């Protein structure tokens, strides 16, 4: 499995197993938070609207009360009764005892002449015909003014009512103390920035604004108000991201004033913002934790999958190799048989020729004292004999690989045996500057095995190691021998040139060699394989190009002699 | 010690003729047979000391032949000759009482050495047998007449 596949699998696990459900939960959570936020902001608005509504009602009631007081007086008394300052003062005193908001009281005739006055100032006798309030009350019968300074130079507003008596009309006017009135509006507090105030139609403040704005000053935010008749409207100013204020505003019908309740958006939405913020932090935190955990888990999972895959692959390769070797072994024995029989015949024939040659020599010499041809013939015959032996050696090697040779077992002490074998190659290793290190466990029990065969195993492995270390510095062969369970573990390691992956499958095949032509028969490792298998053990190899090779041989300490078992059946 | 009398059993005829010629020349009286059945006939007919037996033959297998030989002629020594995979059978043959086995191709001198070894063993066994017989005769002289027939094949 390549690195890419590894990433792919990890990604798949992350997406399918962890992220997908998580995204669904995220969507659900997101919808909940969104709905909660919408609902909460609606709540905030309606709360503000409710406050505005309540206060509007309160102010309207206050004004209606004042109007009712005046109407009551105007309809209870005639103009003649009220013309006298004493009786007016008496009535005013009674009025004040009911409501301290009344500041003064005045009576006017049709022409705007101030007939009588009760209050702290002396205003009687003046003419008001040209004043705005007088014109308005003449026209409508009832008038509530905006706040103004008037002659007295203090902010106040007036309430005036008209009375028709026969052909004449007269007018009753009261001044309302704005300070007392202001308290009604100003005392509203919502959160830390919430406030309420009144403006008239032209945007002049009719009550103080806590966040700045004195009485009778124009309201700088006036153009943002959205007013509809009767209704309380709520709205926000600023853009979507930078909201400044949340407003609730509505008209006071009887005066044309506007009741404004407003709160800084930051303040109004603070709890909502806080809870949404917490939610988002939790979501983000959750995402991070899930991704990290998922990543770790997926990596772990993929790692173990990878490992299992690798093991499987290795096992498969081993099986393939074993199968291939078994086949080759079968073939090798057949081949060895077919060749050995004719070799035997040839050998007999060669012996026969050699027997005959002296006889022939006598005859030839009788004619030719120095028979050149005869010498050549003898030479040829000799050569044929050598070549037959060579063939014989090859077939012997093949038979060893196919492990059809005899083994005679006796107990062998590895602590003595291995150094002995090493001594055989020591001289060669020394010449190549190779160090041979032996690491033998002192408590290895004697191994029941065929010492000749085991010696061949070691010699072949050491030969290969020496070959692999040719020209390398530092060159080192390490032989380890230890006991593990019921098995003896022998490791032969070198830091040589290693075996290429392509060659890995072929190394045990007879006649496979990487040595130059003529230097190796290609039977070394196949012999080793055959012997180890014949002894009931197994051999595995690990190798890395340019890093070295390790052969691991596992031999059973408790002997199961295959050869004799099988032999016994015959 | 007289020269051994030998029987070679092998399905390779050319091998038989050449080897026979070589061995005869070296003073070993040699009989040959290409199969087990014929070999048994020769064993019945001739006095044979050592048999060289190819393990793998068509018809009666070498190991089978060995079994019969050991049963009928326990004193005859057998050398197994194997050219191939059947070394295991050869080893099995050792367990069945074969003197030794040889791997093909083997040169004539090795063969002769083995033959001599086998012959020597047979002679020793025969000698021992004679000695015990003589001992018996000395201790129980009358029994000779009862058992003489069974000892002589």
Q: Shortest CB distance from B104 goes to which of A343, A405, A570?
A: A343
Closest CA to A523 of A412, A413, A399, A428: A399
> Average pLDDT for residues A10-19, to the nearest whole number?
77
Instruction: Give the per-residue pLDDT at A565.
Output: 39
A141 reaches B (C-beta below 8 A): no
Q: Measured between beta carbons, which residues in chain A are less than 8 angstroms from residue B92?
A: 566-570
**Bridge partners of A478?**
A437, A493
List all residues of chain A from 396 to 435 with a beta carbon under 8 Å from chain B.
396, 399, 402, 404-406
Helical residues (DSSP H) of B7-107, grouped into ranges: 13-25, 36-45, 62-72, 87-95
Provide, rounded to the nearest whole percent, the portion of chain A with pLDDT above 70. Answer: 92
Q: Measured between beta carbons, which residues in chain B are less than 8 angstroms from residue A569?
A: 92
Residue pairs spanning A and B at CB distance below 8 A: 95
DSSP A211-255: TS--TTSBPTTGGG----SSPPEEEEEE-SSSEEEEEEEEEETTT
Query: Is 80 exceeded by the pLDDT of residue A121?
Result: no
DSSP A461-473: HHHHHHHHTTT-S
Q: Shortest CB distance from B92 goes to which of A355, A396, A568?
A: A568
Is A399 close to B85, i.e. CB distance below 8 A?
Answer: yes
Closest CA to A143 of A235, A67, A48, A233: A67
Reported as a single tens digit per residue, the pLDDT across B85-130 is: 555 666 677 778 888 888 888 888 899 999 999 999 998 988 898 8
Reported as a single tens digit per residue, the pLDDT across A85-98 is: 888 888 888 888 88
Is A337 close to B56, i.e. CB distance below 8 A?
Answer: yes
A563: closest chain B residue by CA: B88
B64: closest chain A residue by CA: A570
3-state secondary structure of A555: strand
Query: Is 90 exceeded by the pLDDT of residue A380?
Result: yes
Closest CA to A487 of A549, A560, A416: A560
CA dist., res. A546 & res. A550, Å (int): 13
Which residue is listed with tokens 């105030």?
A: A197
The pair of structure tokens assigned to A499 is: 């075996």
Closest CA to B109 of A97, A410, A354, A292: A354
Instruction: Give the per-residue pLDDT at B144.
Output: 60
Helical axes A372-401 vs A524-534, angle rounded to 10°: 40
A401: closest chain B residue by CA: B85
Instruction: Give the per-residue pLDDT at B7.
Output: 94
All residues at 6 or more sequence positions from A392 whose CB lies less than 8 Å from its CB, including other chains: A340, A343, B105
**Bridge partners of A480?**
A439, A491
Q: How big is chain A, counted in residues?
A: 570
A352 reaches B (C-beta below 8 A): yes
Confidence of residue A353 (pLDDT cuts 50, 70, 90): very high
> Average pLDDT for residues A158-177, to the nearest whole number?
85
Instruction: Give the per-residue pLDDT at A566.
Output: 39
CA angle A335, A340, A345 (to 5 degrees): 140
The nearest CA of chain A is from the CA of B114 a distance in Å of 16
- Sign of the CA dihedral with A273 first, then A279, A283, and A289 last: positive
> What is the average pLDDT score of chain A?
82
Query: Is 60 exceeded by the pLDDT of residue A187?
Result: yes
Is A406 close to B90, i.e. CB distance below 8 A?
Answer: yes
According to the per-residue pLDDT averaged within each range, which of A113-122, A487-496, A552-561 is highest?
A487-496
Instruction: Give the per-residue pLDDT at B147.
Output: 55
Instruction: Give the per-residue pLDDT at B95.
Output: 77
Query: Is 60 exceeded by the pLDDT of residue A568?
Result: no
Provide, rounded to the nearest whole percent, the portion of chain A with pLDDT above 90. Answer: 11
Please tell me which residue, B79 or B85, carries the higher pLDDT value: B79
Which residue is listed with tokens 């010699």?
A: A459
CA dist., res. A292 & res. B53, Å (int): 78
Contact A198, A259 (CB under 8 A): yes
What's the N-to-C CA distance of chain A in angstroms?
48
**pTM greater than 0.80 (yes/no):** no
Closest CA to A512 of A500, A475, B103, A317: A500
> Average pLDDT for residues A400-411, to the nearest whole number?
67
Query: Is 50 exceeded by the pLDDT of residue A570?
Result: no
Query: Is 60 exceeded by the pLDDT of residue A109?
Result: yes
C-alpha pair distances (Å), A151 with each of A116, A128, A200 = 17, 12, 21
Which residue is listed with tokens 């000391």?
A: B49
Instruction: Give the per-residue pLDDT at B44.
Output: 92
A353 reaches B (C-beta below 8 A): no
Q: Measured between beta carbons, which residues in chain B are less than 8 angstroms from residue A388?
A: 105
B86: closest chain A residue by CA: A404
Is B22 close to A388, i.e. CB distance below 8 A?
Answer: no
Contact A552, B76 (CB under 8 A): no
DSSP class of residue A520? -
Contact A418, A546 (CB under 8 A): no
> Average pLDDT for residues A321-337, to the nearest whole number?
80
CA dist., res. B53 & res. B61, Å (int): 10
Please tell me which residue, A252 or A418, carries the higher pLDDT value: A418
Please tell me which residue, A541 or A402, carries the higher pLDDT value: A541
Is B22 close to A352, i.e. CB distance below 8 A?
Answer: yes
Please tell me which residue, A230 or B42, carries the higher pLDDT value: B42
Q: Shortest CB distance from A348 goes to which of B15, B88, B89?
A: B15
Instruction: Give the per-residue pLDDT at B146.
Output: 62
A334 reaches B (C-beta below 8 A): yes
CA angle A165, A170, A172 (to 5 degrees): 125
A379 reaches B (C-beta below 8 A): no
All residues at 6 or more sequence positions from A220 whose CB lies less than 8 Å from its CB, including other chains: A213
Consecutive H or E run containing B101:
strand B100-103
Query: Is 90 exceeded by the pLDDT of residue A490?
Result: yes
Contact B24, A355 (CB under 8 A): no
Reported as a single tens digit per residue, the pLDDT across A422-464 is: 988 888 888 888 999 999 988 888 888 888 888 889 999 998 9
B101: closest chain A residue by CA: A406
The pair of structure tokens assigned to B15 is: 């091998």
Closest CA to A506 of A320, A334, A311: A320
The nearest CA of chain B is from the CA of A378 a distance in Å of 18
Q: Measured between beta carbons, which residues in chain B are less than 8 angstroms from residue A345?
A: 12, 14-15, 18
DSSP class of residue A18? I
Q: How big is chain B, counted in residues?
A: 153
Is B84 close to A344, i.e. CB distance below 8 A?
Answer: no
**C-beta neighbour count of A470 within 10 angstroms:** 11
Instruction: Give the per-residue pLDDT at B89.
Output: 62
Reported as a single tens digit per residue, the pLDDT across B38-68 is: 999 999 999 999 999 988 888 788 888 898 9
All residues at 6 or more sequence positions from A28 whose CB lies less than 8 Å from its CB, including other chains: none
3-state secondary structure of A259: strand
> Average pLDDT for residues A497-520, to the nearest whole number?
83
Reported as a single tens digit per residue, the pLDDT across B16-46 is: 999 999 999 888 999 999 988 899 999 999 9
Which residue is listed with tokens 């958006």?
A: A265
CA dist., res. B40 & res. B7, Å (int): 10
Lowest mean pLDDT among A98-102, A324-328, A558-562: A558-562
According to the per-residue pLDDT averaged within each range, which of A290-294, A386-390, B144-148 is highest?
A386-390
All residues at 6 or more sequence positions from A99 whose CB lies less than 8 Å from its CB, including other chains: A65, A66, A69
CA dist., res. B77 & res. B121, Å (int): 8
A570: closest chain B residue by CA: B92
A352: closest chain B residue by CA: B22
DSSP A492-512: EEE-SS---HHHHTTTTSTT-
Q: Measured between beta carbons, which residues in chain A are less than 8 angstroms from residue B19?
A: 348
Please tell me which residue, A123 or A52, carries the higher pLDDT value: A52
């Amino acid at each position: 499995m390549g690195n890419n596949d590894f990433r792919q699998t990890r990604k798949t696990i992350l997406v399918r197993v962890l992220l997908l459900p998580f995204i669904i939960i995220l969507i659900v959570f997101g919808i909940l938070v969104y709905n909660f936020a919408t609902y909460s902001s609606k709540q905030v608005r309606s709360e503000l609207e409710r406050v505005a509504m309540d206060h509007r009602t309160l102010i309207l009631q206050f004004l209606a009360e004042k109007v009712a007081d005046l109407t009551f007086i105007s309809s209870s008394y005639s103009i003649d009764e009220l013309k006298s300052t004493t009786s007016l003062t008496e009535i005013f005193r009674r009025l004040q005892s009911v409501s301290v908001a009344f500041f003064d009281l005045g009576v006017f005739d049709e022409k705007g002449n101030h007939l009588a006055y009760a209050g702290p100032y002396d205003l009687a006798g003046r003419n008001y015909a040209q004043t705005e309030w007088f014109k308005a009350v003449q026209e409508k019968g009832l008038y509530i003014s905006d706040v103004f300074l008037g002659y007295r130079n203090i902010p106040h507003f007036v309430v005036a009512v008209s009375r028709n008596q026969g052909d004449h009309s007269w007018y009753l006017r009261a001044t309302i103390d704005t300070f007392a009135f202001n308290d009604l509006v100003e005392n509203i507090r919502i959160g830390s920035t919430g406030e309420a105030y009144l403006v008239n139609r032209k945007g002049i403040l009719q009550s103080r604004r806590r966040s700045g704005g004195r009485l009778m000053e124009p309201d700088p935010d006036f153009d943002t108000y959205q007013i509809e008749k009767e209704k309380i409207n709520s709205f926000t100013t600023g853009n979507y991201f930078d909201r400044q204020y949340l407003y609730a505003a509505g008209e006071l019908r009887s005066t044309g004033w506007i009741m404004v309740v407003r709160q800084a958006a930051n303040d109004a939405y603070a709890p909502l913002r806080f809870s949404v913020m917490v939610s988002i932090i939790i979501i983000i935190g959750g995402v991070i934790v899930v991704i990290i955990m998922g990543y770790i888990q997926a990596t772990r999972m993929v790692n173990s999958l990878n490992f299992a895959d690798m093991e499987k692959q290795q096992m498969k390769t081993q099986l393939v190799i074993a199968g291939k070797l078994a086949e080759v072994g079968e073939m090798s024995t057949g081949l060895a048989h077919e060749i050995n029989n004719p070799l035997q015949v040839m050998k007999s024939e060669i012996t026969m020729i050699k027997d005959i040659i002296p006889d022939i020599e006598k005859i030839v010499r009788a004619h030719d004292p120095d028979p050149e041809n005869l010498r050549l013939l003898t030479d040829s015959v000799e050569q044929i004999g050598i070549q037959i032996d060579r063939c014989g050696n090859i077939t012997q090697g093949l038979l060893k690989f196919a492990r059809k040779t005899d083994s005679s077992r006796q107990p062998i002490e590895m602590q003595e045996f291995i150094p002995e074998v090493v001594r055989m190659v020591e001289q060669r290793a020394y010449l190549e500057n190779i160090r041979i290190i032996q690491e033998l466990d002192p408590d290895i029990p004697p191994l029941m095995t065929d010492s000749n065969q085991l010696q061949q195993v070691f010699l072949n492995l050491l030969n290969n190691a020496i070959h692999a270390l040719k020209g390398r510095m530092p060159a080192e062969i390490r032989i380890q021998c230890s006991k593990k369970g019921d098995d003896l573990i022998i490791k032969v390691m070198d830091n040589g040139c290693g075996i290429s992956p392509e060659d890995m499958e072929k190394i045990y095949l007879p006649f496979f060699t990487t040595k130059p032509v003529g230097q190796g028969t290609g039977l070394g490792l196949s012999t080793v394989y055959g012997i180890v298998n014949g002894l009931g053990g197994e051999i595995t190899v690990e190798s890395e190009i340019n890093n070295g090779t390790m052969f691991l041989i596992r031999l059973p300490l408790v002997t199961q002699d295959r050869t004799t078992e099988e032999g016994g059946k015959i | 010690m007289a020269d051994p009398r030998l029987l070679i059993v092998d399905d390779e005829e050319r091998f038989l003729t050449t080897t026979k010629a070589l061995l005869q020349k070296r003073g070993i009286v040699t009989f040959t047979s290409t199969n087990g059945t014929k070999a048994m006939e020769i064993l019945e007919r001739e006095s044979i000391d050592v048999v060289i037996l190819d393990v793998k033959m068509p018809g009666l297998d070498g190991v089978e032949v060995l079994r019969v030989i050991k049963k009928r002629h326990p004193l005859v020594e057998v050398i197994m000759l194997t050219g191939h995979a059947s070394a295991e059978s050869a080893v099995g043959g050792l367990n069945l009482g074969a003197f030794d086995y040889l791997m093909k191709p083997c040169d004539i001198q090795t063969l002769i050495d083995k033959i001599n070894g086998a012959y020597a063993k047979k002679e020793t066994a025969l000698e021992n047998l004679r000695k015990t017989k003589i001992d018996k005769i000395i201790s129980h002289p009358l029994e000779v007449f009862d058992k003489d027939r069974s000892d002589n094949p």
